[in-house]
Amino acid sequence: MRRRIHAAAGIIGFAIIATFWTSTVISELFASHQTIAMVKNAILWGMVALIPALAIVGASGMMMGRRRRDPLAMRKKRRMPFVAANGLLILVPAALFLAWRANAGTFDMTFYAVQALELVAGAVNLTLIGLNIRDGFAMHGRFSRSDGMASA
Q: Cα–Cα distance between 55 and 97 in angstroms, integer?
A: 23
Helix %, strand %, coil % for the chain, to 5? 85, 0, 15
Q: Tell me the fold of 2-147.
A: Four Helix Bundle (Hemerythrin (Met), subunit A) (1.20.120)
Give the global pTM: 0.86
Residues of the chain with pLDDT under 70: 142-152
Amino acid 152: pLDDT: 46
Amino acid 145: pLDDT: 56
Report the alpha-carbon angle 24-38-130, nearest 5: 30
Looking at residue 87, the DSSP 8-state letter turns out to be: I
The answer to whether 102 touches 33, Cβ cutoff 8 Å, is: yes
Which residues neighbour 109 within 8 Å (Cβ) at sequence distance 6 or greater?
A: none
